[in-house]
Each structure stands twice: as C-alpha cells, then as structure tokens.
C-alpha cells in the first residue's frame, strides 16, 4: 500500500514556529516578493473570520482587518521539513518527499514491523509530531492515498481498500486533482463538480477538451495512477555558511561570497571525489525573512567555475540585503567517475537527446521559449517577411 502523510499549510506552520503567539490569531502566509498578491495558507482563526487561502491580499484584509501577514521563511520551512523526514526515516519509513508538507512511503516493508498498515501509519504520525497536526491516508495508489490524507482529520489515519478506491474518490472536489485553476473552472462551467463526474466522462473527449493535463487528471479520477513511490537518497550533509558583519545588498559582493562558499564546499574532505547532483543556496535576510533556491544539476559535476555560473544568476532573485549566505550540497553521486560516450549518438538517439534538451529549455523559459524557423517567403526582398518563428509544440 502507498501511504501519504500530509501537513496542510506547512509553510505557514513553519513560519509561525518563530512567532507561536500568532497561531491562535487570524494570520496568513504573505505572498513572496514579485509574485501575484495572493495569500497562502491561513490559520483557523482567519478561516473563522471568512478569509480563504488564495484570496487577493486586499480582499483578505478587507474581510478581516486584523489579519496578520506572516512573511515567508523558506529556509526555516525546508529545515523543519528535513527534520520531519529524518524522524520518519529513523522510524523505518523509506520516504518519497513531494512538496513541503506532503510525504509518501510504501507500507509493505514496515507493516510486519509495526503489526499492520494502520499501526505503521500511527507510528508515522507520532514520528512527525502532534504539534504539526499531521494526517495520514493509505490506498493502493499514490493519488488515492493523497486524497485519503486530505479527507482525514488531524491525527487520524484513513485507509482506503483497493476495490473501494473509485467509490471513495467519486464525491471528492476537483481541487484535489493536479489541474490548473482555469481548467478546473472550465470543468465546473461544464457542470463537472466532483472527481466522480470527471471519471464518468469518456477519456478521449476529456483529452480533446482539456489536453494532456486533463487526460492525466481523468486517469487519476478513475483510480489509474501509475505514480510509484521511490525512497529518497540519503541527503549529503555538506553545508558551508558565510555570515556578514553587516547586511550586503551588492550583487558583486554576494557573487564573491558565493565563490568563497563554492571553493569551501568543493574542498570538503567528506565529498571525496564525488560530483554534486543537487545543491541549494539560501540566505538569511535583514528583517528576519529568508530566501532559498534549489538547483538540480543537469549533469553532475564538481568544477567551481561551472557551479558559480549555475548559481550566480540566482543571486539576482534575492529580495533584500543578506546577513548570512549558505550553500548546501543536497545530493552527491555514488561513484567518482564520469561516464564517457563510447559511440557518438546519432539517428533516433540523437533526436531523443535533442528533444530532451529542448524540453528542458522549454521548462525553464516557459511556453514559446523554443521556436522553429519556418521559411515562408525566402525570395522576398523584405528581410522580415522571409521567415517566421513558430513555437514548438514538442
């Protein structure tokens, strides 16, 4: 069985650990700088006053004038989440961390240890700690487990039997499905209000109307979820920190500080000759907030220049002067060698590599980031009429 432990509003709870008195008052997680002014998770007191997560900030403050906006603290949230994952791992669970506040694991290996799936889930909730109000769900499939955890009350375990999965999912709201807001609204306008109604539609029609995302949501709604649970690799514990005597806002100085951190991190004896696979750069900001960016390297390496080039642009995203800069190696490769190519790729393999590269560019630049040049009038004497840039669909 796949189990899911969920902590709703995890980022807000993590940010409130430094200000526990706010937990009982109307409070909401403030949007990050540069993002749309929509509030994040809210406290129960704010909910009682009519505030809803995802509301526009102005609307939320008009609804509840005493609402306190809590600044995001991604670094503290990441640290708290890591502590929870480690407690779960210590209890014997091989965790597959989704977003912050959501973790999956297979119960098969631990059922005998704890005397059944329910007892194992109760142990998992205890490992997380009741202060976080975690809830657990288990089912044959990953999505059904997530849905069960969403439905469970704080501290409760909800197990859905395989044969009852579709029946269980049917009355649940569409908000549970990984669908864009616009698509969800489109479905609601068509009269589809819950997961069961979506599952009842013909798959081809859903795919035609809503595209691949819609088709995937439809598959999930029918309980056909192929998502596997894979235990995470043990995190590398290589951290380098630089504290500044006074707040630094100058990008050049920060780049120099980053260069020092990179040198120190790569020089750590514990790394051996292994390459970096995943790194995180975080900062403590003036005023108590924090900033964090995680980067999975396309190809593992351990060259200082490349790492500086990969991380340097992230510094431009900092939202304020920095008191402390931290560089973490989150994942290292197992081996110390680098696989070289024996035969140069060609044909289908080369095409596949090219497609893969283009997909990555598209993922980082958004729609329209990858274009094809289409000649339309190569004979024209007017240069801009000779060719068009057309966005690539694949």
Partner 1 sequence: MEGVKEGAHGGTLGSSVRSAGRLNSPRPVQVEPGLDGTPRRVNRRVVAVVREEWRVVDRWWTDEPVQRRYFDVVLDGGERAVVYRDERAGGWFSQRGV
Footprint of partner 1 (CB under 8 A): 371, 373-374, 376-377, 380-391
Taking the complex as a whole, how short is the minimal distance between the CB of residue 389 and partner 1, in angstroms?
A: 4
Q: How far apart are CA 163 and CA 167, in angstroms?
A: 8
Taking the complex as a whole, how short is the minimal distance between the CB of residue 377 and partner 1, in angstroms?
A: 8
Beta bridge pairs of residue 243: 324
350 vs 388, beta carbon nearer partner 1: 388
Closest CA to 194 of 203, 184, 204: 184
Beta bridge pairs of residue 327: 240, 281
Q: How far apart are CA 120 and CA 323, in angstroms?
A: 43
Phi/psi at 224 (5° precision) = -100, 85
The tokens for 255 are 């780049």
Taking the complex as a whole, how short is the minimal distance between the CB of residue 4 and partner 1, in angstroms?
A: 42
Taking the complex as a whole, how short is the minimal distance between the CB of residue 394 and partner 1, in angstroms?
A: 16
Torsion of CA 342, 347, 350, 351, to 10 degrees: -160
Taking the complex as a whole, how short is the minimal distance between the CB of residue 373 and partner 1, in angstroms?
A: 6
Question: What does 326-385 look like in DSSP terms, one character per residue?
Answer: EEEEEEE-S-SS-PPPSS---THHHHHHHHHHHHHHHHHH-TTSSEEEEES-TT-SSGGG
- The conformational region for residue 4 under phi > 0 = left, psi -120 to 50 = alpha, else beta, is beta
Backbone Cα Rg of the chain: 24
Taking the complex as a whole, how short is the minimal distance between the CB of residue 355 and partner 1, in angstroms?
A: 21
18 vs 388, beta carbon nearer partner 1: 388
Q: How far apart are CA 311 and CA 300, in angstroms?
A: 14
Taking the complex as a whole, how short is the minimal distance between the CB of residue 322 and partner 1, in angstroms?
A: 36
Taking the complex as a whole, how short is the minimal distance between the CB of residue 382 and partner 1, in angstroms?
A: 6
Taking the complex as a whole, how short is the minimal distance between the CB of residue 205 and partner 1, in angstroms?
A: 26
Sign of CA pseudo-dihedral 26, 10, 120, 1: positive
Q: Order the strands of the 238-248 sheet from edge to edge.
A: 238-248, 322-332, 276-285, 290-301
Taking the complex as a whole, how short is the minimal distance between the CB of residue 379 and partner 1, in angstroms?
A: 11
Q: How far apart are CA 354 and CA 357, in angstroms?
A: 5
Taking the complex as a whole, how short is the minimal distance between the CB of residue 358 and partner 1, in angstroms?
A: 17
124, 91 contact by CB (below 8 A): yes
> CA geometry: angle at 167 spanning 165 and 170, to 5°?
105
211 vs 369, beta carbon nearer partner 1: 369
Give Cβ neighbours of residue 182 (< 8 Å, ≥ 6 apart).
none
The tokens for 227 are 């998502």
38 vs 358, beta carbon nearer partner 1: 358
309 vs 391, beta carbon nearer partner 1: 391
Q: How many CA atoms lie within 13 A of 120 on its CB side?
A: 25
């Amino acid at each position: 069985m796949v189990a899911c432990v969920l902590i709703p509003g995890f980022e807000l709870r993590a940010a409130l650990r430094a200000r526990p008195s706010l937990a009982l008052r109307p409070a909401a997680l403030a949007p990050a700088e540069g993002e749309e002014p929509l509030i994040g998770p809210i406290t129960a007191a704010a909910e009682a006053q009519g505030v809803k997560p995802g509301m526009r900030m102005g609307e939320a403050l008009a609804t509840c004038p005493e609402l306190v906006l809590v600044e995001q603290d991604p670094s503290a949230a990441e640290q708290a989440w890591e502590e929870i994952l480690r407690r779960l791992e210590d209890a014997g669970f091989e965790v597959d961390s989704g977003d912050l506040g959501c973790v999956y694991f297979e119960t098969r290996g631990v059922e005998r240890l704890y005397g059944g799936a329910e007892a194992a889930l109760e142990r998992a909730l205890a490992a997380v700690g009741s202060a976080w109000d975690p809830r657990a769900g288990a089912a044959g499939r990953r999505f059904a487990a997530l849905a069960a955890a969403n439905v469970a009350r704080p501290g409760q375990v909800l197990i859905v039997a395989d044969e009852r999965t579709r029946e269980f999912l049917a009355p649940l709201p569409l908000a549970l499905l990984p669908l864009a807001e616009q698509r969800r609204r489109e479905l609601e306008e068509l009269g589809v209000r819950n997961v069961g109604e979506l599952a009842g539609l013909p798959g081809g029609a859903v795919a035609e109307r809503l595209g691949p995302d819609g088709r995937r949501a439809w598959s999930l709604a029918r309980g056909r979820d192929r998502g596997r649970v894979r235990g995470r690799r043990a995190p590398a514990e290589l951290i380098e920190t630089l504290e500044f005597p006074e707040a630094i806002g100058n990008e050049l100085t920060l780049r120099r500080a980053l260069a020092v951190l990179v040198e120190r991190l790569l020089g750590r004896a514990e790394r051996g000759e292994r390459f970096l696979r995943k790194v995180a750069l975080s900062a403590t900001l003036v005023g108590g907030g924090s900033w964090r960016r995680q980067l999975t390297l396309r190809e593992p390496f351990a060259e200082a220049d490349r790492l500086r080039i990969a991380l340097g642009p992230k510094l431009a995203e900092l939202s304020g002067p920095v008191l402390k800069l931290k560089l973490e190696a989150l994942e290292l490769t197992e081996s110390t060698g680098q696989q070289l190519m024996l035969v140069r790729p060609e044909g289908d393999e080369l095409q596949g590599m090219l497609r893969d590269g283009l997909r990555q560019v598209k993922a980082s630049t958004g729609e329209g980031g990858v274009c094809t040049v289409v000649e339309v009038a190569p004979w024209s004497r007017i240069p801009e009429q000779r060719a068009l840039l057309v966005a690539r669909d694949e």
